[in-house]
Amino acid sequence: MRNFRRIVALAIAATALTPVIAPAAQAQTARADRPLYKDASQTVDARVEDLLARMTLEEKVAQLVAIWEHKDRIQTAAGDFDPAKASQAFPNGLGMVSRPSDRRGVTPAANGAAGAAVGVGNRNPADTATYINAAQKWALEKTRLGIPMIMHEEALHGLVAPGATSFPQSIALASTWDPGLLEKVFGVAASEARARGANLVLAPVVDVARDPRWGRIEETYGEDPYLVSEMGLAAIRGFQGTTLPLARDKVFVTLKHMTGHGQPENGTNIGPASLGERTLREDFFPPFESAVTQLPVRAVMASYNEIDGIPSHANKWLLHDVLRGEWGFKGAVVSDYFAVRELVTRHKMFKDVKDAGARAIDAGVDVETPDGEGFNHLIELVREGKVSQGQIDNAVRRVLEMKFEGGLFENPYADVKTAAKKTNTPEAIALARQAARESVVLLKNSSGLLPLDATGIRKMAVIGTHARDTPIGGYSDVPNHVVSVLEAMQTEGKGKFQVDYSEGVRLTEGHVWAQDKVVPTDAATNDKLRADAVAAAKDADVVVMVLGGNEALSREAWADEHLGDSDTLDLPGPQDQLAKEIFALGKPVVVILLNGRPYAVNYLAEKAPALIEGWYLGEQTGNALADVVFGRFNPGGKLPVSIARSVGQLPIYYNRKPTARRGYLFGDTSPLYPFGYGLSYSSFEVGAPVLGTGTIGIADNVTVKVDVTNTGKRAGDEVVQLYVRDDEASVTRPLIELKRFQRVTLQPGEKKTVSFELTPKDLSLWNVAMKRVVEPGTFTISAGPNSVDLKSTVLTVR
């Protein structure tokens, strides 16, 4: 009885206390029902740690691998996502799907990169969204912890997927010298990618490119670290925005490729980068450093090449000490496609992918793409003590942070009904046309041939390998429509003048980027084509000749049977011969180049009355060039690279050291066209720079003002370029270095003052002790319309 009374008393006391403790108890119960990591009101760090603590080793490793070549393991034979197969193949979940828009695993494809598949049509917007939604539903609902997947796509110059807007290739976008334009371009690319369900893109490329033999030069923003940095920052702002969490119309970026990729030995892709630490820090690191220190970048891709005997995917100094230690990078390092395998097959460092995987994760690689090969062995490597649990946890943290910051746990889905409506909109098409126009670089315009006056034309001959067949460059899919030069000129001439077409020259039998074999067109075929073109041009009042390269002749060399680098810079095929025979007719001739590699066009530079470098201009190629040729748009593009006279001049980047290019016995060391060069239909006067003060301290900024005046009769754009030279230093310094630029639009007679601010970082160098410092002395500050025609003043630093 005594015990009963005690129990009753305790029960009454507990009842009396219930109103006080119930809310906490209820909250604990709610948290037990809903794990903290699923609570969007919690901090990202708290959610990550909560989820990480719940994960098994197998579930952790699953977050560090992707799937691409073996997507048949998660798909039906028709290519639909199959939850049952996915659960069987990946019972612990899956971190990433590579290229969900492509049909890998459905039809055998050519050995390619970036989802390249010869003869295989990829998924349209609605089908991609449906596929991704099904995959994410499986991940959220059918795996133990419900962790969503990262869906990555390529987006070098627009989303690489059917129907997506095709903008000018990267080297062309760099020719705009207009970061604001790039921000808009990649804002569209992000929107089109996210509309289909993608949340990460493998872009932008911020490699500094110093060898035009390299087939991937078209993927870059050129040869200058500052220009590449500014264009890269603009691309990131467009893709991802400036803050996190990620907005619903944005995607995470992946900076690539860290680093030295753009100056490979003998110009061949993935060749060793024979670069010292000072050169790395001065020329190749800056675009990566600028990006990860100024914007919330969450993914960086390592490069294939080695630096001083250490491939980037095995380089702990590069990926850990510099990237994370010095720059404070918090995101994930992603492998390039098959790069962990290539530590075995190409670099010959390890006996198998298991050992390669151990070295890669120790060096700082967090995620292996496009599939898990070396990283598939991480579980046994941990159990063998060759990889620590801490290394796994750190890599997984970075992946989970991205997924939480992307809002994927709350809503990883796309709207199938609107995916197509948000793709290639009228606004996107108009932006593609504007980007293409701004990309055009006018190299020559003898006697003011351009712009053409349609009223004076009775018959126009449109001739050349790219007159009707328009290349748009690597990392492209199939746009809804690509406007050729011929189509645009026919539209221009409707009701005004006749347009005759002749191919004139054919470079290769087909130019599919992903096709391994490249077959040059035979001489007999080209002899016939050239004769036909001459006949077509004889009766014309003006000839528009469209020449250049194509996606088969200059491209990423990703396999021994799929090459794309060149031992010559000559214009491919008998194009010079065609030009010679057309010029001999004495007609006004406008030569347009469409290419990815800057060719040594010596003959055209000498003989062509008008010469335009267009690069690859995307889906609005023809319309943009018609706008320029007929004067509706005044070209203002500038070269982001130096154009060599011959392959023997290489390397020929403008920011050379004082002892470089002393002279050749019988040759010229100057480029055919210098970095930053480009003409206009108007004329401009760029004044000498004016300093806010002539003397500053080593920690001070200085304002530099430059006047620019349109001295011509047409409105147009000029790019004011500001260069710096360190006149006296403890280590050798480049003759000049670009530090600021601004593209300015001016009406006839209009004058504007452009104001720049130089910081101590702009005047710094890496000294003998490999420390970044500003050394007292004088600096020559120069301004002009290109890297050669400059006016200067002197700044003293005390």
Catalytic (active-site) positions = 336
Nearest to 153 by CA among 386, 333, 369: 369
* Residue 651, preceding peptide bond in cis (omega within 30° of 0): yes
Instruction: Please state, in angstroms and rounded to a whole number, the distance separating the CA atoms of residues 654 and 642.
Output: 7
From edge to edge, which strands make up the β-sheet containing 441-445?
A: 441-445, 610-613, 589-594, 542-548, 459-463, 498-502
Phi, psi of 717, rounded to the nearest 5 degrees? -110, 140
Consecutive H or E run containing 762: helix 760-763
CA angle in degrees (0–180, nearest 5) for 218-432-625: 80
Instruction: Please state, in angstroms and rounded to a whole number, the distance separating the CA atoms of residues 332 and 308.
Output: 24
* Residue 412, preceding peptide bond in cis (omega within 30° of 0): no
Question: Tokens 């059918």 label which residue?
Answer: 142
Burial of 36 (0-12, 13-18, 19+ CB in 10 A): middle
Exposure class string for 684-716: b at 16+ Cβ within 10 A, else e:
bebbebebeeeebeeeeebebebbbbbebeeeb
Q: Do 166 and 397 meet the contact criterion of CB atoms below 8 Å apart?
A: no
The stretches of 179-257 forming alpha helices (DSSP H) are 179-196, 225-240
The stretches of 472-522 forming alpha helices (DSSP H) are 485-493
- Amino acid identity of residue 653, one-letter, is Y
Nearest to 148 by CA among 160, 134, 159: 134
Nearest to 67 by CA among 112, 109, 115: 115
Consecutive H or E run containing 765: strand 765-766
Residue 756: beta bridge partners?
Answer: 704
Instruction: Please state, in angstroms and rounded to a whole number, the distance separating the CA atoms of residues 466 and 548.
Output: 8
Phi, psi of 616, rounded to the nearest 5 degrees? -100, 125
Q: Cα 412 vs. chain centroid, distance in angstroms?
A: 25
Instruction: Please state, in angstroms and rounded to a whole number, the distance separating the CA atoms of residues 301 and 292.
Output: 12
Q: Do 209 and 125 meet the contact criterion of CB atoms below 8 Å apart?
A: no
| 3 state DSSP class of 172 | helix
* Residue 259, preceding peptide bond in cis (omega within 30° of 0): yes
Instruction: Please state, in angstroms and rounded to a whole number, the distance separating the CA atoms of residues 293 and 323.
Output: 10
- What contacts 142, CB < 8 A, 6 or more positions away? 83, 86, 87
Which stretches of 470-576 are assigned E, i.e. beta strand? 498-502, 542-548
Q: Do 598 and 554 meet the contact criterion of CB atoms below 8 Å apart?
A: no
Instruction: Please state, in angstroms and rounded to a whole number, the distance separating the CA atoms of residues 130 and 438.
Output: 37
Structure tokens at 244: 């996190």
The stretches of 503-643 forming alpha helices (DSSP H) are 523-538, 575-583, 602-607, 621-629
Instruction: Please state, in angstroms and rounded to a whole number, the distance separating the CA atoms of residues 156 and 256.
Output: 11
Nearest to 470 by CA among 460, 456, 481, 454: 481
Query: Would strands 459-463 and 332-334 be described as parallel, antiparallel, or unpaired?
Result: unpaired
Q: What is the 3-state secondary structure (H, E, C) of 642-659?
A: CECCCHHHCCCCCCCCCC
Phi, psi of 62, rounded to the nearest 5 degrees? -60, -25
Q: Do 150 and 95 meet the contact criterion of CB atoms below 8 Å apart?
A: yes
CB atoms within 10 A of CB 476: 26
